[in-house]
Amino acid sequence: MKKITCLIVLLFTLNSCGTDYFYSSFTIRRELLWFTSLADQETLDTHAQMVGYTPTLNRFSSPSIIATPANYLVAIYENRNISGSDLDIYGINGNKKVEVTARISKNSSNFDNTVTVGNIKNLNPSSAHGSPVSFLTKEGDIVVLSTAGVGFAKDGVATEKTKIAVSISTDNGYNWTDWKDLDETVFESLKAYNRFYTTPGNGKTLRNGTLVCMIDYKTNYEEKARGAAILYSADNGKTWKIGGTLTYNGNTHRFAKIIAERTDGKLLIAAVSYTGTNDIATYNNTGSIAWYLADDLNSPINTFNVTGPEIIDANLVVVKVFERNSGGVISGDRIKYAYKGRAYDGILLAHSYPERKFQHQSGQQTVSNVTAISISGDDGKTWTMITNVVGKDESTNQAAFRHSGLAVFKDGSIGLAYEEGIGPSINDRQGFIPYYRRFGLSAISDGKYRYEGL
């Protein structure tokens, strides 16, 4: 009798993980068990292209990565059906054809199934959605917020407000609810403004299950973001509220993002410098990261002093890395780790590094604003840079830091969804494409740091 009961429980468990997991062969089941041991994470460093690239037809942007409880990896990104000459960093303005796409991986190596989030597939500007923020609920559902309508457009109809919409998947990203616009009453506390924009990437699920992210805001006649606000849901994405706000002093920053929930429950927030309206300016210019701290969801958001990381360059000049960050989005997640025999409850951060030289087959080249990883063991007060080389294959040498989403998986491996430059050389990028990289903390730190638990 006990054997029959156990069999029924096992079958029910497998069935709840998705139909192809239940009905598939044992090979497929093994693919879903892609977790890696800590010993193997000492050398773990894999690289996968999320989507194909057609420079004259599509531009892809704003990727994030979600690992569901059933071990499906779901990559979510913005798909712009526009010419490659459009370099505007904001995809949604009421005039562009933009949609949100999800691709699914069962083995953490390649992405096969392609699904349109929100079920709008005609890419009509009037029904466009983009700049996705993805969340994983404690129940295992995937929630995606997006910008819609006029987005961050300047001018236009003065009374028209930007729409923020939500779509939810309960089956590992295979099916999604239709986009549902958040009610205008959600933005009542921001009634002086009519333009909003979701900061793309991975949103945060707090320890109590609340989903939380940031949105930028401004008026229709302003070009730059005026400030940012906390947007959160306490019921798994069904309803949303505006929380605390911050002002970008002098309109100097944008894309505020919640990096992590600290051990004391406060929210660590960072924003990147306003470096220009298009991709070229964004990656040729740099500026300082602005740091903030919110005591809770609805409290005032105050500035926060951060130290480091600092490096000495080839000319023996001290470089403060966070003061020379690109205008792309940074991202982070919590991680427990060991360093020099001591355990830390830390925060991992993906950001840009000013530049590095490397030996290419055509000669030595310099790449600006490359992807770097730093770590903090004191809730974000001080930071140490671990590496400015995320991966070692040749294609990574062309990476420039743009929008990204970072997540620490259940096995302690680290997933990073980011955009990589495509082109014949570092300084001749013909576009960007979403990539997914998975690596071990020990691997990228040459064994100095070691994962200890979430």
Q: Where are the domains of the chain?
A: 1-33, 34-453
pLDDT at 398: 52
pLDDT at 368: 72
Q: Are 411 and 36 in contact (CB under 8 A)?
A: yes
pLDDT digits (tens, 9 = 90+) for 256-309: 999 999 999 999 999 999 988 766 666 668 899 999 999 999 999 999 999 989
pLDDT digits (tens, 9 = 90+) for 165-216: 999 999 999 999 999 999 999 999 999 999 999 999 999 999 999 999 999 9
Q: Which CATH class is domain 34-453?
A: mainly beta
pLDDT digits (tens, 9 = 90+) for 115-164: 999 998 767 888 999 999 999 999 999 999 999 999 999 876 667 899 99
Rg (CA), the chain: 21
DSSP state of 21: H
Does the pLDDT value for residue 22 go beyond 80? no
More confident residue, 84 or 389: 389
Establish whether the linkage from the previous residue to 309 is cis, with ω within 30° of 0. yes
Instruction: Kindly report which listed range (44-53, 104-113, 355-364) carries the lowest average pLDDT score.
Output: 355-364
More confident residue, 238 or 25: 238
| CA angle (260, 280, 59) in 5-degree steps | 75
pLDDT digits (tens, 9 = 90+) for 56-100: 555 788 999 999 999 999 999 998 876 555 667 888 988 888 999
State pTM to two decimals. 0.90
CA–CA separation, 3 vs 383, rounded Å? Answer: 53
CA–CA separation, 318 vs 322, rounded Å? Answer: 12
Instruction: Kindly report which listed range (341-355, 366-380, 381-395) carries the lowest average pLDDT score.
Output: 381-395
Residue 287's Cβ-count burial label (10 Å; 0-12, 13-18, 19+) is middle
Across the chain, mean pLDDT equals 85
